[in-house]
Amino acid sequence: MSLAILFTLLCLGKPTHAGEWFVATDGDDTWSGTLAKPNAGHTDGPLATLNAARDKVRQHTTKEPVIISMRQGVYALSSAFELTAADSGTAQAPVVFRSYPEETATISGGRELAAFHKLTDANILERLPASARGEVWVTDLSREGVVDFGTPTSAGTRAELFFDGEPMTLARWPDEGFVKVQKVVGGNPITVHGITGDSIGKFVYEGDRPERWKAETDLWVHGYWFWDWSDAFQPVQAIDTGARTLDLKPPHHNYGYRNGQRYYALNALSELDRPGEWYLDRTAGRLYLWPPASPTDHRIVFSVLPTLLRLKNASWITFEGLTFEASRGTAVTIENGTGNRISNCLLHDIAGWAVSISNGTNNGVSGCEITQVGEGGVSLSGGDRMQLVPSGHYAENNHIHGFGRIFRTYRPAVGIDGVGQRVVHNLIHDGPHNAIQLGGNDHLIEFNEIHHVCYETGDVGAFYMGRDWTARGTVIRHNHFHDIQGPGLHGAMGVYLDDSASGITVFGNVFHRAGRAAFIGGGRDNLVENNIFVDCTPSVHVDARGLGWMRDHVEAGGVLPQRLAAMPTSKPPWSERYPRLLGLLDDEPGAPKGNRIVRNISVGGTWKNIEKIAEPLVVFEDNWVDQEPGFIDAARFNFQLRNDAPALRTGFKRIPIEQIGLLPRSERSAPPPRP
C-alpha cells in the first residue's frame, strides 16, 4: 500500500477497512469497536480502553494498516499501556494509535481530584502563614482513590499536582530563586581544584526563617552544593536555631558543600504561602492547596503512574496526535524493535523524561511539543559501538522547552548515546542546563535552533560532551545557537567539547550571544569551520588542560586511556574510521593536537582565547575577524550573507539559515494544543 493511500486512511473519520477500531470514554470493551456512538437501546459501538483495542489488533490477521482512533476525552490509565512483539505491524502495514480527526485524546497517568473543601482544622491553620489562612483547600487522597502518595523528590516516584494543565509548586522558601549557604561547618574540610569546602552537609544559614520549620517532619533542601553543574535534593536531619545551622541527613552530596552556594527549602507546610503552592501530608494522606482560583469547575490532577506507555520488542507502531500527561517518571519508553514513532503528540506535565528510546533501529520522535517535564525531553540510545553500526534513532522537528523543571542538571532536551542518532530541525529553549548532551559516535546534530538554555548553571554547554577520546565522528552542522548565558562558575558555552572531547566537526553554525561559543577543552582532531560568530566572548577557545590540571586523567591509568582500551581501535572498522586513535598514547596524549579553526566569521565580542601552550598546535586559516562580512541585516539579526559579501572571498560557504529550526507543518501535522 502506498504512503499516499495510508495517509488518506489516517485522515478519514469513518471505518474504511477491517483493520480499524475506535475507542471512546463512553465505550464498552464488550462491544466490537465500531465508530457509532451508542444511544439508548444500542448494544454496540466503540471500545472503552486501549487494552481492548490492543487485543483486537492481536486478533487481526489481514496484511493491511491498522488504525485505532481515540475519541475526544481523558483516558486515565490504571497501569502503563504495554505493547510487545505480538502487537507489531510491518513497514507496509503499520499499527497506528491516533486521536480521532479534529479531536484530542489524552492519555493520563493521573487522577482527577474533585473533593476539595476549605481548610478549617485549627491545628493545621495555626501552622500556616497568616496570609494563607482562609485561602487553603484540602482533600483526602484515599477517599479520592489514591493510595500511593509517591515521594517529594525522587526521580521516577515524585508525585505532582496540576491545575488546569499547570504544575503546582511544592511549598517552598524562598518562593523564587535561591538563598546562599553562609558557611559550611561540617568538620571535614576538602579542597578540589583549589576551591575549599566540606564533605559533610552542615552549614550556617542567614536570618531566622528556619525557625518556622521546626514542626516539619519531611523537610528537604535542593541546591547546587559545590559545583554549579551538579544539583541534588537532600533531606534535613536537624535545625539548630541557636547556632543557625541546617544539618543534612546522610548520605551527603558526593562533591561536598561550600560557602556561597545556592539552595532552597521545600516540602514544608509552613511555607504554603501563595497561590499555586501545595503540600501533601503523606502520613494522613491529606493534600493541601492554595489554588490559583476556586477549585470548582477546574481540572485538578494528581500524578500516580510512573510510566504511561511501554513498547518492548514491538515494531512499526505509531502514536499520533495524542496528549500524554501526568507521569511520575518517563512517560514513554521504547525498547528494541524498529520503525516505532511518537508523532505530532503533546507530552507535558511529566515529572521524568518525555520519551526514552533504547536499542532497536529507526525509532523516533517527530513533530511533537514537549514541555513542563521534570527531567529531559528525548533520550536516544542504540547502535553497536564495537562495530560502529548506527541505530538510526531520531528526534526531528520537535518543540522542546521547559525541560529540567525539577531535576536541573544533566536532563537535556535531547540526550544521545550509542552510534548514529539524528537530532534535526528541533526548536529547543528554556532549560537550566544542557540542551543536547552526547556520548558515542557518528551522530548528526543539524538545523536546530537552541536558545535561552544554561540559564541557571555554570561550566555548561548548550551542546555538551566530554572525557572520551573515542566518542568521535559527530557532526554539528547548520544550527543556530543564541542568547546562551550561564550565571554560575565558568559560565556557559555554545558547543562545549569538554575534557579532551575529540574528533568532532562543528561546521556552518550561527552563534549569536552564545557565551564562549566554540570551546575545545583540551581535545584533539576537532574541526571548527565555516561558522558565523556574533557578539561571543570569545568565539573560539582552545586550552591544553591535558598537560595541566587534567594530566592524571590522560596518562596511563587515567579514565581516558581506560575508555580508549575498551574500544577495538586497532581493528576495522575502528582503525579505518578513526586512524588518528592509533598511536595516540605515544603522541603526547594530553596535547591538543590536530585542531583546525578555518574559514570562520567573527564579529563583535572577542575572536579567540587560546592557551599559550596550545597556540602552536592549532591551525588557524582564512578566518574573517572584526571586518564587515556582508550580512544582509545584522541589526535585525539576519546574518545571511549578501551575494557580494566580502567574507565569501575567503571560500566561506553560505549557511542555509532559512532552513534552521522547525519545518513548516499543516494543522493536521501539528501536536495538540496545550490545555
Nine-digit cell string for 61: 490477521
If asked whether residues 127 and 208 sit together in one domain, one would say no
Q: Say how many domains are in the chain.
A: 3
Half-sphere exposure at residue 597, Cβ-oriented, CA atoms within 13 angstroms: 28
In a domain? residue 486 = yes
pLDDT at 16 over 50: no
Q: What's the whole-number average pLDDT of the chain?
A: 95
State whether 555 and 632 are in the same domain. Answer: yes
Provide DSSP, 277-304.
Answer: EEEEETTTTEEEE--SS-STTS-EEEE-
Separation of alpha carbons 282 and 646, rounded Å: 67
Task: List the grid coordinates of 270.
Answer: 509552613
What does the pLDDT look like over 537-562, one tens digit per residue? 999 999 999 999 999 999 999 999 99
pLDDT tens digits for 166-198?
999 999 999 999 999 999 999 999 999 999 999
Give the mean pLDDT of 80-85. 98
Which triple of cell numbers denotes residue 670?
501539528
pLDDT the model gives residue 256: 98
**Nearest Cα residue to 121 out of 278, 288, 300, 267:** 288
User: Do 480 and 625 have their domain in common?
Assistant: yes
| Residue 8 domain flag | no
DSSP letter at 586? G
CATH number at residue 251: 2.40.30
Give the integer Cα–Cα distance in Å for 378 and 330.
10
Say if residue 234 is in the same domain as residue 281.
no
523 touches 495 (CB < 8 A):
no
Residue 23: HSE in the Cβ half-sphere, 13 Å Cα cutoff: 27
The pLDDT assigned to 42 comes to 73
Same domain, 594 and 520: yes
Backbone angles phi, psi at 46, to 5 degrees: -70, 160
HEC-encoded secondary structure of 368-417:
CEEEEECCCCEEEEECECCCCECCCCEEECCEEECCCCCCCCCCCCEEEE
- Would residue 204 count as lying in a domain? yes
For 474-499, write each residue's pLDDT tens digit: 999 999 999 999 999 999 999 999 99
Note the Cα 48 to chain centre separation in Å. Answer: 33
Q: Is the pLDDT of residue 449 over 90?
A: yes
φ and ψ at residue 396, rounded to 5 degrees: -135, 130
Would residue 472 count as lying in a domain?
yes
Burial (CB < 10 A; 0-12, 13-18, 19+), residue 296, is exposed
231 and 115 in a common domain: no
pLDDT of 518: 98
Q: DSSP string covering 462-505, please?
A: EEEEES-TT----EEES-EEES----STT-EEEEEEETT--S-E
Residue 453 corresponds to which cell in the numbers above? 538554555
Q: pLDDT digits over 20-62, tens only?
A: 999 999 999 999 999 876 566 677 999 999 999 999 999 887 7
As a whole number of Å, the CA-based R_g of the chain is 27
CA 609, distance to chain mean position in Å, is 31
Q: Is residue 537 part of a domain?
A: yes
Q: Do both 248 and 266 map to the same domain?
A: yes
User: Average pLDDT, stretch 254-276?
Assistant: 98
Residue 1 lies in a domain: no
Above 60 in pLDDT, residue 100? yes
The reply to whether 640 falls in a domain is: yes
How far, in Å, CA of 674 to CA of 660, rounded? 24
Which pLDDT score is estimated for 39?
66
First to last CA, the chain: 36
pLDDT > 70 in the chain, percent = 96
Decide if 375 contacts 344 (C-beta within 8 A): no
The predicted-structure confidence for 213-248, as pLDDT tens digits, reads as follows 999 999 999 999 999 999 999 999 999 999 999 999
* Region 439-452 average pLDDT: 98
* Other beta carbons less than 10 A from residue 374's beta carbon: 27
Q: What is the spatial distance between Cα 83 and Cα 68, in angstroms, rounded to a whole number?
A: 14
Residue 384 lies in a domain: no
pLDDT of 72 higher than 50:
yes
Domain of residue 561 covers: 454-659
Question: How far is it, in rounded angstroms, from Cα 590 to Cα 522?
Answer: 7
Q: What is the 3-state secondary structure (H, E, C) of 55-113?
A: HHHHHCCCCCCEEEEECCEEEECCCCEEECHHHCCCCCCCEEEEECCCCCEEEECEEEC
Does residue 9 carry a pLDDT above 70? Answer: no
CA distances (Å), origin 363, targets 420, 428, 485, 534, 651: 12, 20, 33, 36, 38
Going across the sheet that includes 161-163, the strands are 110-112, 300-303, 161-163, 166-167
Asked whether 215 and 223 are in contact (CB, 8 A), the reply is: no
Check residue 669 and give its pLDDT: 79
Query: Tell me, what amino acid is at 129?
Result: P
The whole-model pTM stands at: 0.96
Asked if 478 and 569 sit in the same domain, the reply is yes
Whether the CB-CB separation of 489 and 228 falls below 8 Å is answered with yes
Mean pLDDT, to the nearest integer, of 278-299? 96
Regarding whether 580 and 470 lie in a shared domain, the answer is yes
pLDDT bucket at 63, cuts 50 / 70 / 90 = confident
Asked if 480 and 657 touch (Cβ cutoff 8 Å), the reply is yes
CA distance 142 to 148: 9
**Is 244 in the same domain as 150?**
no
Instruction: For the beta carbon of residue 13, count every other beta carbon within 10 angstroms.
Output: 12
Average pLDDT on 146-153 reads 96
* pLDDT at residue number 43: 79
Last residue of a domain, one of 247, 270, 293: 270
Rounded to an integer, what distance in angstroms lies between the CA atom of residue 334 and that of residue 312? 6
pLDDT at 3: 40
In this prediction, residue 18 has a pLDDT band, given cuts at 50, 70 and 90, of: low
Question: Are 581 and 642 in the same domain?
Answer: yes
Under DSSP, the state recorded for 17 is S
Report the distance separating Cα 524 and Cα 1, nearest Å. 50
Amino acid residing at 237: Q
Q: Are residues 122 and 265 in the same domain?
A: no
pLDDT digits (tens, 9 = 90+) for 293-347: 999 889 999 999 999 999 999 999 999 999 999 999 999 999 999 999 999 999 9
pLDDT at res. 357: 98
